[in-house]
Structure 1
Amino acid sequence: MGTVFSFDVRGGDPRTVRAALDEAVAGLHRADAVFSTYREDSQLSRLARGELTVAQCDPEVAEVLRLGAEAERITGGWFSTTWRGRLDATGIVKGWAVERAARTLAAAGASGVSVNGGGDVQLLGVPGTARPWRVGVADPLRPGGLAAVVSSAGTAELAVATSGTAERGAHIVDPRTGRPAMTDLLAVTVVAPRLTWADCWATAAFAMGARQGLAWLESLPETEALLITAGDEVRCTGGLASRLG
Structure 2
Amino acid sequence: MAPARPGLRRVEQIMGTAISLDLADDLPAATLHELAGQTFDWLREVDARFSTWRDDSEVCRLDRGELPPAEASADLRAVLARCADLWRATDGFFDAYATGRLDPSGYVKGWSAQVASDRLVAAGAGNHCLNAGGDVVVRGLSPTGRPWRIGVAHPWDPTATCLVLAGTDLAVATSGVQHRGHHVRDPRRGVPARGLRSVTVVGADLGLADAYATAAMAMGESGVGWLDRLDDHLHAVVTDDARLLHSTTLPLAS
1:244 aligns with 2:252: yes
CA contact (8 A) 1:17 1:105 kept: no
Q: Closer, same or farther in 2 for the Cα pair 1:130/1:20, shift >3 Å?
A: closer
**1:167 matched residue in structure 2:** 179
> What is the TM-score normalised by the length of structure 2?
0.87
CA contact (8 A) 1:12 1:108 kept: no
**2:24 matched residue in structure 1:** 10
1:182-212 CA-to-partner distances (Å, cap 9, x unmatched) read x2211111111111011111111112122x2
Percent identity at matched positions?
Answer: 42
Distance 1:91 1:219 in 2: 21
1:1-245 correspondence runs (5 A): 1-11=15-25, 13-14=27-28, 15-128=30-143, 131-142=146-157, 144-152=159-167, 155=168, 157-181=169-193, 183-210=194-221, 212-240=222-250, 243-245=251-253
> What is the TM-score normalised by the length of structure 1?
0.90
CA contact (8 A) 1:37 1:88 kept: yes
Gapped runs of 5+ residues in structure 1? none
Over aligned residue pairs, what C-alpha RMSD do you find? Answer: 1.7
Count of aligned residue pairs for this structure pair: 238
What secondary structure does 2:86 align onto? Answer: helix
Letter in 2 for 1:184: G
Q: Closer, same or farther in 2 for the Cα pair 1:220/1:170, shift >3 Å?
A: same
CA contact (8 A) 1:191 1:224 kept: yes
Distance 1:166 1:97 in 2: 22
1:66-108 CA-to-partner distances (Å, cap 9, x unmatched) read 2211211111111111134422111111111111122222211
Distance 2:158 2:74 in 1: 41
What secondary structure does 2:87 align onto? Answer: helix
**Segment of structure 1 superposing worse, 30-39 or 47-56:** 47-56
Gapped runs of 5+ residues in structure 2? 1-14
Query: Offset at 1:141?
Result: 3.1
CA contact (8 A) 1:54 1:61 kept: no
